[in-house]
Chains A and B, each alone.
Chain A
Amino acid sequence: MVKSFVRRAHLYSLLGLALLLVLAACGNGASSNSSGQTLHVLVLVSSNYPTQQKQWMQQIGAEFHKLTGANVAWDTYSSTTEEQTKLQTAIVSGSGPDIFGLGTTFVPTAQATKGFYTLTDADWQQVGGKSKFFPQQMTMAGKSPDQAIAIPWVMRPFGMVYNKDLFQKAGIAAPPTTWTEFVQDAQKITQPAAGIYGTEMDPSDSFDTWKIIWTLSKQLGKDFLSSDLKTAQLNAPEVANSLQFWFDWATKYKISDPNAMSWKAGDATRAFGEGKIGMQLMVSPTIIPTLDKAGLQGHYGFVPMPTIPYGMQQLPANGLPVTSIVSGDMLAIASYSPLKSLALKFINLITDQQHQEDYTKIFGDLPTNMAAANDLASKDELIAGLVKAEAGATPTPFSGSWASIQVAMAGVCSKIANAVATNQYKPSMIQPLLDQANQQIQSQLK
């Protein structure tokens, strides 16, 4: 009797397990893309316009359904960290979003994973052809023109915002075009007793760090990687000089807030919004609504960053006048997705002229659609300036290790900031840190 009871119990357990497995399988089936013709799209969440983004998603979803009969299921990420994690999870599991909205400088790393479709000429035709898109953005679409994986969606040129009132008070007529002028202007603006500083630093930020040091290094004539992408050059003298110049703002010229060593980009923007900063660097047009909301509307200007290195009258021999980095969002189709054709139709929809112009009007990001960019530039002076800045933007090296390089440079800056904060900083500490970073990155290059 007992044996039969135990046998029955085992049988029920197995049946329960089987039921669980069936339910799990059904669960997968319910969310399957192919069966329900539902396109899963992952994009960056808009922290400035959350309500408008939801409305935009609903509108695009409805239009896409009308056009193709398929539905759109949206997913969002709020930070680059989350973007990386979601991408890694999808690549390993072979399931997840059909379309990934990727930050432009993350496209090389995404391509290195081999988890995305390489776009053919026929694919490009389905989204309107390569000539539809802004040429600078196309430089980051893939490791070569015939091996592109990403389609440009929106672009965000970088520049500098300056406080017109503080400039006027300091008797400065125009924003600086050289780093020497920049330091001089910042010194004129700085009034430590009033908590006002000529510029800002955010060495604890994960991304502004590499952007600023890379821009300064390029202006001095050196990239973080050799042109064949096989040799790390993070410990080059130009990179070390760039780092030292940046930290000189706090330690030598005293033109940034002494509390800024722990700042991230948001802290710098908040200080600028409070009218305590003369010039904030490496900002995109997405800062405009934040500053307007802070009550600075009409009291600030958006201009390109200086290009002539400190102490020089002109660019050195190999120096490039880098005013902006090719930046924005691109769309890539996961290679596990069975809905490639549907995905291309979706991308074609949101990159057409009308939708691109509408998107810019709502969110402030510039269109990558050439016709839309030119049309908006002809009507709006600010956008015309931004489009011009993007035309001069420089692409970062297309290396699968670029994401690691960003993190490594953030690590170097974090350690220097740590030393500055605890009064232990010496310029001589820069080179060993860069040597260590270089060695670490070199071991990852393939």
Chain B
Amino acid sequence: MDFFKAHSVVLIVPGFASRVKSGIEKAVVMSITSTPQDTPVPVRQGRAAQIHLALSRSWNHRPLWLLWPGLLLLVVIIGIPFLIAFYISFLSLDQYSLRTWLQAPWVGLSNYVATFTNSSVVGSSLLASLGVSLGFSLLTTLLILPIGILAALTVNTPYRGRAFVRVLYLVPYVIPTFVTGLIWRQMFLNGTGLVDRVLAALHLANINTYWLLGGNSFWAMVIADTWASWPFIYMMTLAGLQGLSSEVYDSAAVDGANFWQKLTQIILPQLRNTLALAVLLSTLNHFNNFTLPFVMFGTPPPVQADVLPLNIYVSSFQLFNFGGGAAMSVFTLIIVLIPGFVYIRSLRLNEVKAS
């Protein structure tokens, strides 16, 4: 009986019924719509209290067992490996102790201290790599954001050939990253690559300009990743645009708004949440990009392009410093969690505001 009561409470919250997803719940909701007398809401409780009561009751009686497979996967795929990596970060684990890694010597925080204080002769130090990764991910995201938005705007309204353009836009995104890396490696080869040939023909640079070594390697990586990843922003934006009501555009047109006004005062504000999510996911994706620099530069990479994932890989699997690599991984996880935490926090704030 409590189960039915709880769902009758759900009905008093405007719009809440739409959040009920399971067929069982829907059936229950339908069966009780004619029994409003079973919804005991204290008169003195405010609206917020009603919402809280509704949420807590419905949560308690939802079929939570449906979460089991997801939880199990999370534990197996993320939880256990993370705990193992965390444990390894306190071990002196190398080729000599790899086979019996559980018995590897415990070294406390030594790996963490070493990763912050010692610099490897292969590639960059941890902090330098962090700088490269942050610069790479933020810069690439900043570059792809306007490109993706503009691309989405070009295919938002119907016209002849729109479907073809939409498919064309997705080409960079569907090409496997290692292929993208190989293509751009060939294009950035100094002396013989397309980039140097074009720049030399335009008298903008020497034909022997190095792009896969030195400071230019960072820009080569940014350019290649920008080319490959802008369709992600495009897809997210287009999905958001398709959800906007055409009435808003019509009324803006009636008011005489130009393109820029429509974009900045109508479209972008309404896409704020979608774009925030896109920027977050994009930044994290770039931050964790291993394949592109690995294929473009190989190992050891130039210090200017030694992103954190590549640095961790070389330390762990090529220098057999698994403990140090694990410490760097834990550090990276903490860094990556920060924007995620901020995003989730902002979502909660929005929910509170909305309620």
Contact = CB atoms under 8 A, between A and B. Distances in A.
Interface string A72-83: 000000000100
Interface in B93-119: 94-96, 98-101, 118-119
B96 A84 contact: no
A6 B121 contact: no
Contact of B320 (A257, A258, A403): A403
B213 interface: yes
Contact of A421 (B121, B213, B320): B213
Nearest to A413: B300
Contacts of B94: 444
A16 B210 CA distance: 57
Nearest to B65: A9
A92 B300 CA distance: 25
A115 B212 contact: no
Given A17-B72, A261-B213, A437-B121, A411 B65 contact: no
Nearest to A417: B213
B121 A262 contact: no
B353 to A, nearest CB: 35
A258 B208 contact: yes
A414 B96 CA distance: 27
A261 to B, nearest CB: 6
Contacts of B298: 204, 206, 264
A446 B213 contact: no
B191 interface: yes
A85 B299 CA distance: 14
B190 interface: yes
Contacts of B68: 13, 17
B122 A410 contact: yes
A251 interface: no
Nearest to A336: B99
B63 A6 contact: yes
Interface stretch (B8-16, B128-136, B311-319, B330-338): B311-319
Contacts of A257: 191
Interface residues of B, number: 43
The secondary structure that dominates the B interface is loop
B213 A418 contact: yes
B300 A407 contact: yes
Contacts of B191: 257, 259
Interface residues of A, number: 47
A388 interface: no
Interface string A113-138: 11100000000000000000000000
The secondary structure that dominates the A interface is helix
A148 interface: no
Interface string A425-446: 0000000010011001000101
B242 interface: no
Contact of B99 (A10, A114, A408, A444): A114
A262 B213 contact: yes
A417 B214 CA distance: 9
A415 B94 CA distance: 25
Contacts, number: 121
Contacts of A261: 210, 213
A112 interface: yes
Find the residue from A85, A259, A417, A446 having the highest chain B CB count within 10 A. A259
Given A262-B213, A418-B303, A404 B190 contact: no
Contact of B318 (A16, A84, A112, A401): A84
B96 A112 contact: yes
B59 interface: no
Nearest to B216: A422
Given A261-B213, A408-B122, A206 B300 contact: yes
B319 A400 contact: no
B340 interface: no
Given A85-B317, A92-B101, A400-B96, A10 B214 contact: no
B95 A400 contact: yes
B99 A113 contact: yes
Contacts of B121: 408, 411-412, 415, 433, 436-437, 440
B115 to A, nearest CB: 13
Given A206-B300, A412-B121, A403 B318 contact: yes
Interface string A193-221: 00000000000101000000000000000
B194 to A, nearest CB: 15
A444 B92 CA distance: 10
A403 B213 contact: no
B96 to A, nearest CB: 5
A404 B3 contact: no
Nearest to A444: B94
Contact of B299 (A91, A206, A440): A206
Contacts of B3: 2
B296 to A, nearest CB: 11
Contacts of B302: 414, 418
* Leading 4 A-B pairs by shortest Cβ distance: A411-B122, A422-B214, A259-B191, A421-B213
Interface of A: 2, 6, 9-10, 13, 16-17, 81, 84-85, 88, 91-92, 109, 112-115, 204, 206, 257-259, 261-262, 264, 400-401, 403-404, 407-408, 410-412, 414-415, 417-418, 421-422, 433, 436-437, 440, 444, 446
Given A259-B190, A440-B121, A444-B94, 16 more contacts: A2-B3, A92-B98, A92-B99, A109-B320, A114-B96, A206-B299, A259-B191, A259-B192, A262-B213, A403-B320, A404-B320, A410-B122, A415-B303, A436-B119, A437-B121, A446-B96
Interface of B: 3, 61, 63, 65, 68-69, 72, 94-96, 98-101, 118-123, 189-192, 208, 210, 212-215, 298-304, 314, 317-321
7 contacts: A6-B65, A13-B68, A112-B95, A262-B189, A262-B190, A408-B121, A411-B123
